[in-house]
Amino acid sequence: MIDTSLKTYGEDVFSEREIRQYLPKTTAAKLIATMRDGKSMDPSIADAVAHGMKEWALAKGATHFTHWFQPMTGGTAEKHDSFLEPTGLAQAMYKFSGKNLIGGEADASSFPSGGLRSTFEARGYTAWDPTSPAFIKRHENGATLCIPTAFCAYTGAALDMKTPLLRSIQAVKRAVERLMNKFGSHGKHIDITLGAEQEYFLIDRAFYLKRPDLLQTGRTVFGAAPAKHQQLDDHYYGSIRPRILKFMSEAEDALWRLGVPAKTRHNEVAPAQFELAPMFEDINLAVDHNMLIMEVLRLTAEANGLVCLLHEKPFEGVNGSGKHCNWSIAYGGRNLLSPGDNPRDNAIFLTFLSAVIRAVDLHADLLRMSVASAGNDHRLGAHEAPPAIISIFLGDELSAVMKEIETGKTAKKTGRTAMKIGVDTLPPIPRDATDRNRTSPFAFTGNKFEFRAPGSSQNCAASQMVLNTIVAESIDAICDKLDALGGDFNEELQKLLQRLIRKHKRVLFSGDGYAADWQKEAAERGLPNLKDTPAAIEPLDNPANRALFAKYGVLDENEIISRREIAAEGYANRIRIEGRVALEIARSMVRPVVADEFSRLATAIGQARKDGLKAGLRGLGALSQKLGAGLDDLHVKCERLEKAIDSTPGKTIAAMEDLRRTVDRLELLVDDHRWPLPKYRQMLFIY
Ligand code: ADP
Ligand code: MG
């Protein structure tokens, strides 16, 4: 039953309310201080915390606990242990110790480690992350206590997505504090905030089960474009169909119980495409919550006879799915990326804004790297938003302000004198709720930056870890410069920002990111355009990039090497799987149908000739010509794909695309009833 009273909001989370209820007072206070302020945890409280957590979990019907972590597969992992402890013959009780809570040793030898761990010493270790609250996952017959953890090797090397994220959060917070000190602020609470919008497709499960490509790869490797898809823009923000609304409300109910602040829901651009956006939160929690959002969407779809497709491009020819990551910094509760209404706040805003611009310009390659995957290659650099070139959109008002600072002159008609940092207030900059430029991969949207390149299936920890690190570096560079300067602070800052803008303005772009001209112009500006995953992961070989991650303690050299290896291997594996699936479908599902139809035609033609019939022969002849040619074509292209699969991913992709053109043509020739795969016009419209 769906609860709309909010009484169940967060009921499955061991949050402050539960902590106060189940833990002794001083223990509760210590744990809450760690959760709120990231203060390092007093290990002596572990047993008491574990006891209280267990009591709470048992009251919720849990029998097991798990260290819940995010290995480099992109998903989440869990291995359940029961609380059971035998106390004698045929006697047992439930137990859970501080040791069980704090750390775990998982024989997790099969997770990708990129050589960081050899299988003979396969142990991986999980370590409790007290800043993200434990929660309960329910199932039909009970529940499991899930403890968010980091996952690392015996040596301490990170084997997961969370560890480097946590390190990067520390790095950027340190830098933010350093810069805020220059503005006379000290020691306030810093929050790096993330709101990750999640796009997804839903299709009827019956169709899904008949598509081996969807089952095995998450995307359709074949499928002719339907006459109508998204041309009429009639799905976007359209009224939500009852079956989908039922699904959405059930998913939200499950998320609200988990304390995930699911906030908006709507139909997206492509048919059968939807979006869920939560309220933004502390970045570490928001990342965990996004992982839960993806899981809840999948499970709720299943319970509704639907399938949730999180792949970046399940269907060719219509929009793919992204995960827009909205990012900002709050200092003492004030959003530093919110334009101020007094000179000092303005100066702070413009300085942080410039720091981000500098970071994105200098490290566009790393941002691009952070979103590289076989699935996302179908969006970035392919035929849709955003392009693989990383640029920043600021909007007209802010662009004008930046121009004023850069040139020291005001635009003609404003009637103002040029912005003086620390003296003037900013002209009002409208916070717009709409995407004014949907083609920009990195857009300033009034009080936050929206990174639109991350793919719908990706763990946002990867891109956010990079963003935090490069911004930390950029803020530090600004602080270093300010340290070295004497003179009036505001004047020096003005000159510094002027230099920064001059140097990094090439990354600012307000035009159409889809346009062919932009590719040319971006090349002239010297902006990287890394078109596919193999190109996009190369920046990890760059010594300067390695030094950057090492300097900020986010990833050391070995961790980077391992991540590069995992990315390359994962990519090659995925393409190989797609190639094999395409080959199997083409040979064992499509070819028999085409051959059968061809032979029936041949028989009919022979019979008609024998009987001396004239009418119909031309039609039959033409069709059999087309089918025959298609059949030959199919044969040749299958052979080619088979060879390509054993060579390189690039050749496999080209051969797959080539085969697809043939199969998609045949789809429109063969008897509709016999076509072995559900079609786009069915999957995208019947639900
Ligand atoms: P839009 O849908 O036009 O992009 P929204 O205001 O709905 O704009 O924002 C989208 C996402 O951005 C939501 O998840 C929202 O919570 C998040 N967001 C808003 N403010 C911030 C912020 N200061 N830091 C991080 N994310 C934010
Ligand atoms: Mg948005």
Count CB neighbours of 459 within 10 A: 27
| Ligand 2 center from residue 324 Cα (angstroms) | 6
Ligand 1 atom nearest 280 alpha carbon: 16
Burial class (CB in 10 A: 0-12, 13-18, 19+), 126: buried
* pLDDT value of position 128: 93
* pLDDT value of position 506: 97
Instruction: Establish whether residue 100 lines the binding site of ligand 1, counting it when its CB lies within 6 angstroms of any ligand atom.
Output: no
* pLDDT value of position 414: 60
Ligand 1 atom nearest 264 alpha carbon: 7
CA distance 506 to 501: 9
Instruction: Establish whether residue 326 lines the binding site of ligand 1, counting it when its CB lies within 6 angstroms of any ligand atom.
Output: yes
- Kindly list the domain boundaries of the chain, sorted by start residue: 6-160, 188-196+322-554, 198-321, 572-683
pLDDT tens digits, 50-91: 999 999 999 999 999 999 999 999 899 999 999 999 999 999
Task: Please state which of the four CATH numbers 3.40.440.10, 2.60.120.620, 3.40.190.80, 3.10.20.70 is assigned to the domain occupying 6-160.
Answer: 3.10.20.70
| Ligand 1 center from residue 280 Cα (angstroms) | 6
Give the torsion sign (CA, 365, 367, 369, 374). Answer: negative
| Domain 198-321 architecture | 2-Layer Sandwich (3.30)
* pLDDT value of position 233: 83
* pLDDT value of position 321: 97
Task: Say how far residue 652 (Cα) sits from the centre of its chain.
Answer: 25
Which mean pLDDT values do the consecutive 10-residue runs of the chain (687 residues) have? 90 96 96 84 91 97 97 92 96 95 80 71 83 95 96 90 97 98 96 98 98 98 92 87 97 98 95 97 98 98 98 96 98 94 92 98 98 95 80 91 88 68 78 68 94 97 98 98 88 94 96 88 95 96 98 96 95 98 98 97 94 92 96 98 97 98 97 97 95
Location of structure tokens 């790869």: 217
Instruction: Establish whether residue 346 lines the binding site of ligand 1, counting it when its CB lies within 6 angstroms of any ligand atom.
Output: no
* pLDDT value of position 314: 98
Alpha helices in 86-161, H assignment, sequence order: 98-102
Classify 655 in phi/psi space as left (phi over 0), alpha (psi -120 to 50) or beta.
alpha
Ligand 1 atom nearest 337 alpha carbon: 23
Question: Exposure string (b/e) for 544-576, b if CB count within 10 Å is 16 or more?
Answer: ebbebbeebebbeeebbbbbbbbbbebbbebbe
* pLDDT value of position 123: 75
* pLDDT value of position 95: 96
Angle at 41 between CA 38 and CA 44, to 5 degrees: 165
Pair of tokens at residue 203: 């299709």
CA distance 148 to 434: 35
pTM of the model: 0.96
Give the torsion sign (CA, 212, 213, 214, 218). Answer: positive
Question: Exposure string (b/e) for 304-316, b if CB count within 10 Å is 16 or more?
Answer: bebbbbbbbbbbb
User: To test the ligand 1 pocket, which listed residue (193, 268, 326) has its Cβ within 8 A of the most ligand atoms?
Assistant: 326
Round to the nearest angstrom and report the end-to-end CA distance of the chain: 23
What fold is seen in the domain 572-683? Four Helix Bundle (Hemerythrin (Met), subunit A) (1.20.120)
Instruction: Establish whether residue 437 lines the binding site of ligand 1, counting it when its CB lies within 6 angstroms of any ligand atom.
Output: no
Location of structure tokens 């902006």: 527
Pair of tokens at residue 577: 């799987």
Instruction: Establish whether residue 391 lines the binding site of ligand 1, counting it when its CB lies within 6 angstroms of any ligand atom.
Output: no
In this structure, the residue with its CA closest to atom 14 of ligand 1 is 195
